[in-house]
Amino acid sequence: MAARSIGSLTISFGLVAIPVKLYSATEASQHISFNLLHKTCGSRLRQQYFCVKEEVPVGRDEIVKGYEFAKDQYVMFSPEELKALEEVGTHAADITEFVPIAAIDPVYFDKAYYLAPDKGGAKPYALFTKALRESKRCALGRWAARGKEYIVMIRPVEDGLVMQQLLYAVEVRSIKEIDIPVMDVKEAELKLARQLIEQQSSNKFDPTEYKDDVSARVEAAIQKKVEGQEITVSEAPEGGAQIIDLMEALRASLEKKGGAPAKTASKSAAPARKPAKRAQPAAPAARKSAKK
């Protein structure tokens, strides 16, 4: 089944306008979802809101949104007031700058969309894609949609363009907030680690090599339930003993993958000294001649 466009927009590149169609790059429907049921009769449950002060149920027509500016103190907003604060959708992605693709940390990546040329946009689309690919840069800009304004990155891929929503700086925590101790790394350990990395390296990422085993197990369990079969719950395996010796862990990893660990200079690697020869007892004839 051919993909369906979820919208259209115009990429503003200088004085060039590129009309494009928008396609979702991910498939949310693949996720398995469950409904909340009443355990005794199996009927679906309906969510209901209660007022904590009056202890009475509240209908949706009586609900408004509020912001807590102090403990148990709120300012309320009507739907009209919130609507007036939303960003007006422009159906355009205005390019502001071009940066190297490697300059953007993937931690800022959010939802992704595929872009395809719309009517009359095939030629400028091809030009823009090729220019980005040859410059090894991506385009950064702003896109207003659904009442919000997003930072977007447009980057070339093998068959076209991808528009990636980016998180704002305030939405990404700094790694400096985490306490990471500074440790010395021995050269011998580093050599084994590099060898292990080299042994498991690939030149290309193939996502089909990775399967969602949890979803497969859940789907199989659902099918068994539908067919009236019982599901046996196995006990979780006990965790293995922690390996304290880092060198031995690296060596074991290399041997498990079928590689020979790199030789490192150490006392244990030094050639063993030959044991001293023991004095041999004299032959009988020699002992007799010695007595004479």
Q: Does 192 lie in the same domain as 148?
A: no
Q: Is residue 1 part of a domain?
A: no
Please compute Rg for the chain using Cα positions: 34
Number of domains in the chain: 2
67 and 75 Cβ atoms separated by less than 8 Å = yes
pLDDT tens digits along 22-45? 999 987 656 788 999 999 999 999
Looking at the domain assignment, is residue 98 inside a domain? yes
In single-letter form, the type of residue at position 196 comes to: L
Residue 126 has a pLDDT of 95
The predicted structure's pLDDT at residue 240: 56
Does residue 273 lie within any of the structural domains?
A: no
- The span from the CA of 77 to the CA of 65, in Å, is 6
- Same-domain check for residues 12 and 116: yes
- pLDDT value at position 261? 56
134 and 110 within one domain: yes
Residues 106 and 251 in one domain: no
What does the pLDDT look like over 183-192, one tens digit per residue?
Answer: 998 999 899 8
- Percentage of residues of the chain with pLDDT beyond 70: 82
Whether 253 and 145 map to the same domain: the answer is: no
Residues 190-249 have pLDDT tens digits of 998 898 888 888 888 888 888 888 888 888 888 888 888 887 777 766 655 565 677 788
Segment 48-64 shows an average pLDDT of: 89
Same domain, 108 and 20: yes
With a cut of 60, say whether residue 90 has pLDDT above it. Answer: yes
Phi, psi of 61 (to 5 degrees): -75, -10
250 or 209: which leads in pLDDT:
209
More confident position, 278 or 82: 82
Whether residue 291 lies inside any domain: the answer is no
Domain-embedded: residue 152: yes
- Regarding whether 15 and 124 lie in a shared domain, the answer is yes
pLDDT for the residue 285: 44
- Residue 282 forms part of a structural domain: no
Mean pLDDT of 87-94: 78
Range of the domain at 191: 185-198+247-257
Q: Tell whether 147 is covered by a domain.
A: yes
| Same domain assignment for residues 131 and 165 | yes
What CATH number is attached to the domain comprising 105?
Answer: 2.40.290.10
Residue 102 lies in a domain: yes
Residue 38 has a pLDDT of 92
- Per-residue confidence at 287, pLDDT binned at 50, 70, 90? very low
Does one domain contain both 134 and 253?
no
Q: Are residues 164 and 21 in the same domain?
A: yes
Q: Give pLDDT, residue 241.
A: 55
Residues 162 and 192 in one domain: no
**152-172: pLDDT as tens digits:** 999 999 889 999 999 999 999
| pLDDT (mean) for 54-58 | 90
The mean per-residue pLDDT over the stretch 48-58 comes to 89
pLDDT by residue (tens digit) across 117-158?
999 999 999 999 999 999 999 999 999 887 889 999 999 998
121 and 157 fall within a common domain: yes
